[in-house]
Structure formats: C-alpha cells, structure tokens
Amino acid sequence: MGEDDIVGERSFMGSSKSKMWTYLILMVLLVVIVVVINLVWKDPTRATQGMKTFIGLPGWALATVIFIVGAIVFWFGLKVETDWPEALGAFLISGSIAAFEFIVGWSHFELGLVVVPYLIPLATFALLLMYGMKKSV
C-alpha cells in the first residue's frame, strides 16, 4: 500500500465543502423523515389512504413525484463532490419505476420471464450509479 493508495482513499471522502453539503442534505432528509413519521403516527388510516391517492390525485402521482424528486437529487449529486446524493437519487428513481410497474401490473413486464419486472429497477439503479460515478470523476 503506497502513498497513492492512501491519497485515493482520503480523496473519496471529499473536501470540507463536500462534507458540509453532506451534513446539510442529511439534516433536510432527517427533518422530512421526522415529519412523515409524525403524520403516520398521528393518523395511520389517513396515511394509508394517502398512499393510494396523493393529495387528491390518482395513485400514480406519488410515483411521479418520487421520480421527479429522485431526478433532482441525482442531478444535484452530479454537481457536488460526494457520491451518495447520486446513489439516493438513483434509488428514488428506481423505486418509482418499481411503483409504476406495480401500478400497471407486474405481469405486463414479465415478457416470458418472471424475473424481468425485478430486473428493470435494478438495472436502472446500476446504470444510473455507473453514469454518476463516471461523471463525478
């Protein structure tokens, strides 16, 4: 293990500016999670109804909002040094694709193999991560 290996490992963590962005994003995510948990805790039946209809819109609207938020987080992750916002954005996009598959029906995506509906979100996640890693270098 030479000096180059140690420098490479330290450079992955990023500079102090990227650490600041990491903590800022984590703080915002923590606040959002606490608000969602509070809403679910106060009224669980309303929360389950909210998953079926998003602010009075059809069920696919929640998946669309998650896709858009994931795309914004992924795009933002390409602009900062740290790699985890790209991974979070890719995860949200893949999750929304899985939700769309569930809304449309898993059987429509089988194409003769039962495993294909599971592979589509996984392949999307992997491709987005590869793209993000290539663009962030």
Q: What is the mean pLDDT of residues 68-89?
A: 85
The pLDDT value recorded for residue 9 is 46
Taking the whole predicted model, whether its pTM rises above 0.85 is answered as: no
Per DSSP, 105 falls in state -
- Rounded Cα–Cα distance for residues 21 and 12 (Å): 14
Q: To 10 degrees, the CA torsion angle through 64, 135, 14, 71?
A: -10
